[in-house]
Every structure is written in structure tokens, then in C-alpha cells.
Structure 1
């Protein structure tokens, strides 16, 4: 877990030339890879998709699940069958009513092999889902996803899954309109074509420049006090900060760590705990990282407790993928920093470490990642 730094300015309305418009201006660090929520897989898409779409449930301020598009749900005695009752007052942005078939269409598309959805595996606990995704099952009617009526959705799991209801807050499980996809094909999710359920709808997109969201007049929930949101696509942290200072952004995150010393006394700087775990994704198909002892040596060779100081941020070193605040750690072996032990394991795995090929570390081109990559290189 680390602290997130953000600069928040006064919301200045009427900066677009329209004196009556209330617009919030924020930053995206890059273009979204897609507006298709079945296929989306990066942090950037979060800002867009969570403002234009919704799912069956959502988290409240205390991280407890509460109903959203679902009015209620029941769970069978064996904890394997969930039946959701949908709200009847929810309409898509084109006026058509939400139905259980919209969820079935979305989850079938998410699992369809041709979709190649990065997060298809999230539905694997549903009966038959993995087999359908891996082409071992051709008949989707055999998968445990059923629309019992226009307002009733039933999900049958292959085993009890304690986290299943929490998983439904994720955007890949949000409903879709199959008729819109059939009409527009691959471009169905683009502004002007896509229909949505959230408080805003995408109005315009200029690659490498900006995304504009407009208020959805048919939104079922509390109407936003904003008319629009301008998402400016800015790769460089320093550029975003300068734009914030000049009034071109109302909110900027992250703040470049090199600027923090000058900003810590600013009343506009806000910090908050940020639940995020960063890790190295290791290619275990290549030598020597295909060897368990070599991977253990790699983990033991980096002193994670120093990373916070290197990046000038308040962080805690991670011993697991999930923070203890959310999921208390259970029993298990923690691989801690131990350079001597790591060197011994590496020698046991490969013999002479000097004969090893160079390891390549690939990361996004940011100041923070450059510093972190240099630290890891120096440690190893």
C-alpha cells in the first residue's frame, strides 16, 4: 500500500466558453486502449468506464457491496446459485430498458474465444464458463448464466466462491447491448454509437488529445452536478502539473515525485492511502527464470523496504499481492530480502552466475519507473 498524491483545485465553471456549463477537467496519462468494457484491461480505462457504465453491485465508502443495477439477490443454501432481481427503472442512454439478457449477452461475449478478452478468466468459477472459453464446450446454454425473466438473472457456480459478489463490481461484468454491437460492428463502443447506463456518456474522443463526457439525461441515479467532464490526455507529469497551475486542470494525479518537495506545503495537495500492489511480471518460459530457485534468488535480491525512499513516497513493502487491510495475511512462507541466501540459491540453480544471459526489464516510460528500474538493476 502507498499514499496517493493528488492536487485538487477549485472547480472553475465556464472555462469552455459557455458561461452556463459546469465542467470538470482531469488528466489521463495515456489514451485508453479501448472503450469496449469486455476487452478493457488498463488503469486508464477505469476513469472512463466507471463514469459511463455500471454493474449489478458496487462498493460503498466502507468497501461493502451494495446493490446498484440489481435491486436485490439471493444465494442458494449450497452457496452456488445466485439469483439477481434487476431494478425496473433503469434505462440505457437511448431509452431502452435494461434487461437480464443484456447481462447474458455481455458475459457470453466476455467468454467467447473470438473476443480474446484479457479478463475472461474472472468468470471461470461459473459452471461451464472455462470450458466455453477454451472451446471445450460449444453450447453456451450449458453455461451457468441464465435470464429467467427480463428482470431476473441466475448464475450457477461450479463451487462456492466467497468473493464472487465483490467481483461483479468490475467493469468486464457490466451489461452490453448486443443489438448495438450487431449494428455498428467493431466501432460499437465509440462516442456517438455506444449506449450506456452511467451518469455520463462519451461525447467526443480525439486520440492523444482529449475525451469529453456529457451528462446522461436518462441516468437512473442521482444526477451529477456537472454538465461535462473533460479528460485531457497528457503523458508527462510535469506538463500536467503546469497545466494544473495555469487552470487547465481541476485535478491532477499522480504528482511527479520530483515535484513533491516543493508542493508539500500547498493546501491543494491531498494525500490518501492507495491500495495498490506493484510487482514484476516474470517470464517463466525463459532461462534462467524458468527455474524456481532462480526466481527465489531474484526476489531475495531486491530490498523492497527501500523502494519508498527511492521514489520519495510513503510505501510499505509487500509480502503478498493483496494488502493486509483488505485481506489479512494467512499462514505461508514470505520471501524476504536476503542477498547472501539469494546468491547461494542462484548458484545452486545455474552454476556460474557470470555465465547467465542478461535479463531485460520492460516498463512504461515514466520518471518514476526509470528510477525504480535503476534501483532494481543496482540491487541485482
Structure 2
């Protein structure tokens, strides 16, 4: 895996299923070994119900699973929701307010525990018990969420998340129809953990997982080691494909400059942090075989509080919008190959985006 990628996403890197057939075949022939990732620092807590960082969420994709997942695919195909721990997408009833999932059988956590209905129910309760950062937004529409937000410790989501052990089903009831619910359930904050996971921030302690990989070591000052989950058997290539490297070594502490140099010298394979803008020209010409571009559907913005002066005045907000040189910002991010100007909330290649700038 030496000198594989300079910039990409860790989820795609580990899964490999979005690659062209010839590339995928190459990687199958070279399955195994260790790949080294680099980042300036750790991404905070390891707890997937609490961590709300791009860096953490990338790593969670091949480690944890939810009832549904985003398809491990390139480009727009990666926005498609597919069944993951659930056998199929849910049966929807009650005018779009009831979602019934059938849980797959035979899945185990990395600890050897069998995955069961109780784990799913407990995980949804835990989102509120640990005061997850999206408990009051993404999951506030679940029946019983209001009581859980008012008293997190006693959260049961009674009537909201109902498990039937005999039938192997989980039913989620929401207070009003939500066309985005499946997308919210595919995010890391809704990933399923063992029912006996403590209802507190686990910090630097890895939690058993169901994915192709597990966190086998972690030191927030040094790095993370991710290795194969010995209990993993691929059930869906779209949702949770078997990975290629046997070990992923994620080291922290190097500056962006040092990380680029390490990759150029074959000492590492990938870096999380943005490439130094003053080295983009050099990398594009001298290191083309190591530089791979994987567009990220995201946007950077400067928020203006429209409740405070002067931005409570629409004209003041418009003045800022007109004054900002978006083309210069694009240059700072590496030019048109790596970025594009935008004048709206939804970035290019994102569902619903219309290019009207």
C-alpha cells in the first residue's frame, strides 16, 4: 500500500469499493499489509455517539454500523441509503411516521458478543443519555425524545424505539413525517453499540464494533491503531465492504509540511489535514503519481448573526457577501481543480444543488 494516496477520504481508502474495476482488481491482488495515515492531532473522543468531527466520522465508516448506511461508492452514488445492520430498507407506515426494520442475523461485535435487538434499542437511548450533539436536532422527532431531552439519565424513548426480540424487528415512531430520517440514521451518531456500553463519554477507550475493522489501540497524543475485526463476515458490499489493509496506523503530531514530506519519501500514505497551499504547484508537477483528488461535497462559510447589529440589517449582510472575493478564496484552497466558488448553502454535487451563482 506504499505511496498510495496523498489526499482522499479514509472511508473510501479502507473500503476501496468505489475504485474502477481495474483498480479494485489491483487492490484485491495486493490485499493486506499496513497503511499509515497522518494528522496534526487526534479528533477528540473515540465515542461515536459524541464525536462530531469530519476526521472522526471518516474513521467510523469501516468500524461501526447503523441500521442503514450511505453506499460506499464514489460521487453522487455515495448519497444513496442502503440497508446495513437491517436486512432491507424499512417498511414505512402510519402516514410516514412509523419505520419498521428487520435486523440481520449472525452479526457479532468485535468483542464476540452477538448483535441483537436490545443493542439497537439501547443505542438509541444512549444517544440521549450521553447528550449527543445531535440528540436535540436530528433525533428530536422520535416519540419520547422530548422526555429524554428533559431528563437524559432516565431516557427510555418509550413508544419511540420499540424492539421485538421474537420477530427480530425494531420499530421507530416519529411525531411527524421526516423525509430526511434515513439520512440521519445513516450518520455515526446513530451507530449501534453493545447494550452494556456505559452511558458516558468513553473518551480514549475503544467501544466494540461490528464493522470490518476495530480500534485496537489509541493514544490521543500519539496515534490510533485500527486492525481487522476477527468476527467480521461481509454481509453487504454496498454498506460495509471488507477492507484491503490488515492494519491502519493513524499517527498524530506531524505538521502539514512534515506530513507531505513523509508521504513523498514513502514513509506514509495519506494525510487528513489540508495540503499547504504553497506546495500545491510542486505536488501537482513533481508528485503526480502520489496525488489523487477525491472531491468533498462540503462548504466553508462565515456565519453572520442576523439578531445582532449590524447584521440584523439585510443591507449589511449583502454588503459582506458582495465584498468577499470568492475567486481569491478558491485560489487559497488550491485553485479550480480543488475548489469552486458558491453562493448558497448546498455545495456542488450535493443533492438539491442548483448552480445559479
Q: Count the aligned residue pairs.
A: 314
Match of 1:319 among 324, 327, 343: 343
Matched, 1:6 2:19: no
Deviation readout 1:293-351 (Å, 9 max, x if unpaired): 544433333232432124332222223222353323479xx9x8xxxxxxxxxxxxxxx
In the alignment, structure 1 residue 95 sits paired with structure 2 residue 115: no
Distance 1:300 1:52 in 2: 44
Rounded to whole Å, the distance in 1 between the matches of 2:322 and 2:6 is 29
The worse-fitting range, judged by mean Cα deviation, of 319-328 and 171-180 is 319-328
Distance 1:31 1:139, change over 3 A: closer
C-alpha deviation, 1:216, in angstroms: 0.6
Q: Name which of 193, 198, 204 aligns with 1:181.
A: 198
CA shift at 1:288, angstroms? 3.6
Structure 1: how far apart are the matches of 2:294 and 2:308?
39
Matched, 1:148 2:178: no
2: CA distance, partners of 1:292 / 1:278: 21
SS where residue 59 of structure 2 aligns? helix
Measured in 2, the distance between the counterparts of 1:144 and 1:278 equals: 35
Query: Are 2:84 and 1:68 equivalent residues in the alignment?
Result: yes
- Cα deviation 1:27-86 (Å, max 9, x = unaligned): 234212101111111112123322321111122221321111110221116111100001
How do 1:332-371 residues align onto structure 2 when only pairs under 5 Å count?
none
| 1:284 Cα deviation after fit | 5.4
Per-residue CA deviations over 1:267-287 (Å, capped at 9, x if unaligned) read 221123221111123455654
Match of 1:25 in 2: 36
* 1:148 positional shift: 2.2
Cα distance change on mapping 1:186 and 1:172 into 2, 3 Å: closer
For 1:150-184, what per-residue CA distance to the aligned partner results, in whole angstroms no more than 9, with x for missing partners? 621101122222121122210000112232327xx
Shift of 1:145: 1.2
Name the counterpart of 2:217: 204
Q: Which residue of 1 is the match for residue 62 of structure 2? A: 51
Normalised by the length of structure 1, the TM-score is: 0.73
Measured at CA, do residues 42 and 79 of structure 1 come closer, stay the same or move farther in structure 2, by a change above 3 Å?
same
Cα distance, 1:189 vs structure 2: 6.0
Q: Quick one: structure 1 residues 297 and 148, their matched pair in 2 at CA, closer, same or farther if it must change by over 3 Å?
A: farther
Among 220, 226, 242, the alignment partner of 2:261 is 242
1:235, distance to aligned residue in structure 2 (A): 4.9
2:46 to 35, 57, 66: 35
Give 3-state SS (helix, strand or coil) of 2:196's partner.
helix
SS of match in other structure, 2:55: helix
1:192-231 maps to which residues of 2 (within 5 A)?
194-221=207-234, 223-231=242-250
Specify the SS of the correspondent of 2:217: strand
Distance 1:141 1:131, change over 3 A: closer
1:81 corresponds to which residue? 98
Summarize deviations over 1:187-246 as a string: whole Å, max 9, x none. Answer: 47614xx21111111111222321111111101315433221000114521110111122
Answer yes or no: is the 8 Å Cα contact 2:204–2:218 preserved in 1.
no
Unaligned runs of 5+ in 1: 12-19, 337-380
Rounded to whole Å, the distance in 1 between the matches of 2:53 and 2:163 is 30
Offset at residue 92 of structure 1 (A):
0.8
Match of 2:25 in 1: none
The match for 2:140 among 99, 102, 124 is 124
Out of 262, 265, 275, the position equivalent to 2:297 is 275
| Structure 2: runs of 5 or more not aligned | 15-30, 235-240
2:49 and 2:127 in contact (8 A); partners too: yes
Partners of 2:6 and 2:203 lie apart in 1 by: 36
Query: CA, structure 1 residues 98+186, in 2 after alignment: closer, same or farther (shift >3 Å)?
Result: same
Rounded to whole Å, the distance in 1 between the matches of 2:95 and 2:208 is: 37
Q: Secondary structure at the match of 2:124?
A: helix
